[in-house]
Amino acid sequence: MPSRARAPRDSGAATAFPRGWAVRARRASPPRGFAEGGEAIIQTKPKIYSEQRFDHLKGLDGISDDQIKEHLQLYVGYVRQVNALNEELAELRGRGRASGKDHEFAELTRRLGFEYNGMILHEY
């Protein structure tokens, strides 16, 4: 029986199917966050964060309760700023301005990163 030589497999070549096989393209569902026609689904409801309680920090050695209270006011400010920025960004998204090319949206997104990091770092 004659041996059949196999051609080296080319990674860029299309796969050959035997004669008679039908290849059907499966219709992919749209990516998350996009509607059927490809339009982006705009979420206008921002996520609201609430301030956590840090009552367990009272009475620590080496730092007074007044210093802790003063420091946690920074945390409260971060939480409020994150909520305010999320609302502003949601409003811009609702108006179709969610783009890095939009200077106001880009600046608010940058500020959100700073405020969000301050909030999270105080919580953990």
Residue 123 contacts residue 76 (beta carbons within 8 Å): no
As a whole number of angstroms, the distance between CA 119 and CA 79 comes to 6
Kindly state the tokens that stand for 115: 């405020």
* Lowest-confidence segment of 65-69, 106-110, 120-124 by average pLDDT: 120-124
Q: Say what the pTM is.
A: 0.61
pLDDT category of residue 67 using cuts at 50, 70 and 90? very high
Amino acid identity at 45: K
For the chain, give the mean pLDDT. 78
As a whole number of angstroms, the distance between CA 124 and CA 117 comes to 11
pLDDT of residue 44 exceeding 60, the answer is: yes
pLDDT attached to residue 32: 53
